[in-house]
Chains A and B, each alone.
Chain A
Amino acid sequence: MCDTCGCNVTDGNRHLLQEGGELARTRGGRDAVEVLEGLLSANDHQAAHNRDHFAAHGVLAINLMSSPGSGKTSLLEATIEALGDELKIGVIEGDLETENDAKRIRDKGAPAVQIATGSACHLDAHMVHHALHELSLDGLDILFVENVGNLVCPASFDLGQHFNVALLSVTEGDDKPAKYPVMFRSTDLVLLTKSDLLAVLDDFEPAKAEQAVRNLANPAPIFTLSARKGEGMAAWLDWLRDEVARHKTALAAEQTTPIDPNHVHDQRHHHP
């Protein structure tokens, strides 16, 4: 699978390929096999497949990640309200147990599928793929995937999204990016949410949160907004409009091949 496509060979490990050759004999008479395969290669291949689904429908996929309760669903509700007539939005909701978030989205008039992850603390590409076969992407401009509220695990799993968006609510502390570097270094956009509460929280400084993100060598834009009061939403909505337009232009230039709806899935999927 991955040993041929080279997707795990990074600058940091390329030299190792040359060192021992594929097979080296160890002292005990056993065989040592050099592998150099990413531990998430099955997930990464599924993610690439998901991307094909998105491309086939020209939909922009955005993975929303944050701590529990940072305001992901509230942001989606406000976004659907603001853009509902302009862009067609669908949502995949990841949650440990309930249907609540998907219901909140449907109440705003957008299609939503709930993935109940059970005990799993993150979504993976297989779960999203499963949901994709339940949610029609036809005519959608944006597919949001609301990941499970968790700043650790979701960061490791590519779902096939085009953008990662990390939310950090002002009640959580401006040092979160330094504490969760894996999440915040790879996000494409940071939203500092619940800004209406800044007035009563004297210990959250947006500038400090921004500095912590820059320390991770991440040049991502950072917007401060309140889904509840509406302040700062314009920058976020414009970002979405721009990226949807850019995505459609890029896809038109690329000419993607539609994927066969009867394609076979051969990957097994384990979950605790």
Chain B
Amino acid sequence: MHELSICYGLMDQVERIAAEQRAVKVVEIVLRIGPLSGVEPQLLAHAFPVAAAGGIAEDAELVIEDMPLRVYCEACDAESEAAPNRLLCGHCGGFYTRVVSGDEMLLARLELEREEEAAIGGSNNTTEDTENTEKTA
């Protein structure tokens, strides 16, 4: 079960980005996972609360977007859909193909609450200028 260690790594990434963005809270974490990434989305979702406990993303919602599996064939100069155990060209059946989508394991997007927003109860003000505010993350 490597999903838990991947989740701990994810938490490091999230904490770092949240600090860079001066966020006080991570509301949503969006991942993109392909069927050839080697991680099981369900196991990842299961491991997430364990890894997130006590951190800035403790209450965040984890959203996992499945990526389609597509291959590119040099001979046909064309893309086609594929299955994890059949990565052949959908046009000529050849095996000199390359996966163009479906092996990714990405942190795609974070939804954050910044310091000022939190302080004034989630107002709509832009909060790019909080240079000297204390870090609470």
A257 interface residue per 8 A CB criterion: no
Contacts of B45 in A (CB 8 A): none
Return the chain A residue nearest B34 by Cβ.
A12
B residues contacting A by CB (< 8 A) are 1-2, 4-6, 8-10, 12-13, 16-17, 21, 23, 27, 31-32, 34, 36-39, 67, 70-72, 84-88, 95-114, 117, 122-124
Q: List 14 A-B contacts (CB under 8 A).
A: A12-B100, A26-B111, A30-B27, A30-B111, A37-B107, A39-B31, A42-B9, A42-B13, A153-B2, A153-B38, A178-B85, A216-B86, A216-B87, A217-B88
Contacts of A31 in B (CB 8 A): 21, 23, 111-114
Which residue of the partner chain, among A13, A121, A122, A270, contacts B32 with CB atoms under 8 Å?
Answer: A13
Q: Are A156 and B109 touching (Cβ within 8 A)?
A: no
Q: Are A215 and B31 touching (Cβ within 8 A)?
A: no
- Cβ distance B84 to chain A, nearest Cβ, rounded Å: 5
- Cβ distance B70 to chain A, nearest Cβ, rounded Å: 7
A200 interface residue per 8 A CB criterion: no
Q: Are B117 and A30 touching (Cβ within 8 A)?
A: yes
Q: Are B105 and A38 touching (Cβ within 8 A)?
A: yes
A142 interface residue per 8 A CB criterion: no
The distance in angstroms between the C-alpha atoms of A8 and B13, with both chains bound, is 14
A11 interface residue per 8 A CB criterion: yes
- Using known A-B contacts A179-B85, A217-B87, determine if residue A8 contacts B106 with beta carbons closer than 8 Å: yes
Which residue of the partner chain, among B27, B38, B101, B102, contacts A152 with CB atoms under 8 Å?
Answer: B38
A43 interface residue per 8 A CB criterion: yes
Q: Are B106 and A271 touching (Cβ within 8 A)?
A: no
Q: Are B9 and A185 touching (Cβ within 8 A)?
A: no
The distance in angstroms between the C-alpha atoms of A1 and B88, with both chains bound, is 35
Contacts of B10 in A (CB 8 A): 39
The distance in angstroms between the C-alpha atoms of A177 and B85, with both chains bound, is 8
- Using known A-B contacts A217-B96, A219-B95, determine if residue A35 contacts B2 with beta carbons closer than 8 Å: no
- Using known A-B contacts A29-B122, A120-B5, A179-B85, determine if residue A11 contacts B110 with beta carbons closer than 8 Å: no
Return the chain A residue nearest B9 by Cβ.
A42
- Cβ distance B71 to chain A, nearest Cβ, rounded Å: 7
Contacts of B96 in A (CB 8 A): 217, 219
